[in-house]
Amino acid sequence: MKKKILAVCDAEAEYTRRFCEYVGKKKDYPFEAAAFSSVDKLRQFCEEEEVAVLLISENDYELSLREIVKGGVIVLSEEEKKETEVCNIYKYQPCENVLREVMYYCAEGDMMPAGIPLPGNAQCGRLRLIGLYTPIHRCMQTTFAMTMGEILAKKHKVLYLNFESFSGLEKRLQREFMTDMTDLIYYMTNAREAFFYKLKGMTQTLQRLDYVPPVFSFMDLARITPQQWTALFQEIERLTSYEFLILDLSAHMQGLFDILRMCEKVFTLVREDDAALSKLQQYEKLLERTEYEDVLKKTRRCRLPLIRNIPFNLLELTHSDLADYVGKLVREEFYGGE
């Protein structure tokens, strides 16, 4: 399916050029960007082409544009959080944030373009699920998982999902999440035609690693069914070009063992003290008694070496001692030790 046109109209030629170049690099987004430096040129274009979404500077915005633009119109505001009667996005922020807000608006109501172009390499079995779970607390599972994700993201498209009851990622990332994974589940169940736009409107990036804000309330997490988790992974595979899905799992979610069974590889962090080993033994016995021995067969136990100066700032993960350990593990497990 041909990509939809995202038109950007602004007298600042450098702004439109930079934003359109950024959109052009996002291969699994449904838009191709067209830049315009004047409303007259935009009008001429609209006589021959259909614009799905128009981003226009507030100085150039005219109500009459809604007569020529069949899709949604979003004003590029020069003030943050400006209250207006029309949809608006703060202009002077990273291109990533602007595009994410465009996708957020597209998921809402009448602004959503018809049809979703699937990624060019979409095929069944393309997405590789990597699970991380340990019954032992304070094993650095999340730090380990995100480090692995960032290392894999140097060569692949990777999405990280966190299923902890209290992830603390807002503080660690110094960001405020206005939505979380429960919104994706809602759209998938009740408005699947808007799911893709909602996913792209929520997805954020750490270095090269993409992630979706985790569920805020563990009570909401516990209510999501195994069937909904499975459907979520399938939709991500169908609608995106991700190659790896890193699942940072917890026991507070339904269907944990079935999700582990879906994974290509499972990594379990361990410690050598008696209390930790007794928990690990009980977990492995439970897998055997419930006929999930196949999960054990593809599980790699990981006992972390003594690591000094573990960074709290997740931007520094790939420059830590932990990254050296995880990098070696990634080479062994995914690249044949290269």
Domain residues for the domain of 192 are 128-334
The enclosing domain of 86 has a CATH number of 3.40.50.10850
Q: Are residues 75 and 9 in the same domain?
A: yes
User: Which of residues 42, 76, 111 is at a domain's end?
Assistant: 111
State whether 105 and 17 are in the same domain. yes
Instruction: Specify if 158 maps to a domain.
Output: yes
Q: Is the pLDDT of residue 293 over 80?
A: yes
Handedness of CA 92, 98, 104, 107 (dihedral sign): positive
pLDDT of residue 316 exceeding 80, the answer is no
pLDDT bucket at 193, cuts 50 / 70 / 90: confident
**DSSP character string of 30-96:** SEEEEEESSHHHHHHHHTTS--SEEEEETTT--GGGGGT--SEEEEEESSTT---SS-EEESSS-HH
Residues 6+ apart with CB under 8 A from 133: 141, 249, 250, 251, 256, 260, 266, 268
Neighbours of 46 (CB within 10 A): 19
Looking at the fold, whether 141 and 243 belong to one and the same domain comes out as yes
Residue 2 has pLDDT above 80, yes or no: no
Residue 118 lies in a domain: no
State pLDDT tens for residues 12-27.
999 999 999 999 988 8
Does 123 map to a domain?
no
Examine the pLDDT at 115 and tell me if it is beyond 70. Answer: no
Q: What pLDDT was estimated at residue 1?
A: 59
pLDDT confidence of 323, banded at 50, 70, 90? confident
Residue 40 phi, psi (nearest 5): -60, -45
Q: Over the stretch 127-150, which tens digit does the pLDDT of each residue have?
A: 999 999 999 988 889 999 999 999
Q: Is 319 helix (H, G, I), strand (E, B) or coil?
A: helix
Q: Are 204 and 175 in contact (CB under 8 A)?
A: yes
How much of the chain exceeds pLDDT 70, in percent? 91
Are 264 and 172 part of one and the same domain?
Answer: yes
Decide if 106 is inside a domain: yes
Q: How many residues appear in the chain?
A: 338
How would residue 28 be classed by pLDDT, with cut points 50, 70 and 90? confident
Q: Are residues 155 and 63 in the same domain?
A: no
Reported as a pLDDT band with limits 50, 70 and 90, residue 111 is low
Predicted confidence at residue 69, as pLDDT, reads 86
Tell me what pLDDT residue 321 has.
82
What CATH number is given to the structural domain containing 171? 3.40.50.300
How buried is 163 (Cβ within 10 angstroms: 0-12 exposed, 13-18 middle, 19+ buried)?
buried
Which residues neighbour 34 within 8 Å (Cβ) at sequence distance 6 or greater? 5, 6, 7, 8, 20, 45, 49, 51
Mean pLDDT (the chain, rounded): 89
The dihedral of CA 219, 141, 167, 157: what is its sign? negative
Pair 86, 16 in one domain: yes
158 & 307 share domain: yes
Q: Does the structure show a pLDDT above 70 at 125?
A: no
Structure tokens at 207: 């270095």
The number of folded domains in the chain is 2
239 occurs within a structural domain: yes
- Indicate the pLDDT class of residue 118, thresholds 50, 70 and 90: low
